[in-house]
Amino acid sequence: MISFETAKTEILDWVSESIQVPVEKIDLTKPLGDIGIDSLDAVHMLATIESIIGRELPEDVVQRVGCLNDIFEMMREHVAAA
């Protein structure tokens, strides 16, 4: 079972690579679109999260998250429930 912190680090690394911005410069509170994650990127990111945490996420999760902090909160809930 992967820890929440490990999963968060892996996702931040993925986002950093995708938007070509260093992890430490990514604003976790900005809307995904404002940091350069479009809807297709968001779908890929969520598939990556599912792979990392080993659990499927609700189908409507893309509509329910606005920023990376929202995603990490959702991940925390799903990792804790595993």
Mean pLDDT, residues 25-42 taken together: 93
Give the CB-side neighbour count of residue 48, counting CA atoms within 13 A.
17
71, 3 contact by CB (below 8 A): no
Distance CA 49, CA 52 (A): 5
The CATH label, of 2.30.110.10, 3.30.420.40, 3.40.50.720, 1.10.1200.10, for the domain at 4-81 is 1.10.1200.10
Q: Is the pLDDT of residue 80 over 70?
A: no
78, 65 contact by CB (below 8 A): no
pLDDT digit string, tens, across residues 46-77: 888 888 888 888 778 877 888 999 989 888 87
CA 23 to chain centre: 13
Q: What is the pTM of this model?
A: 0.83
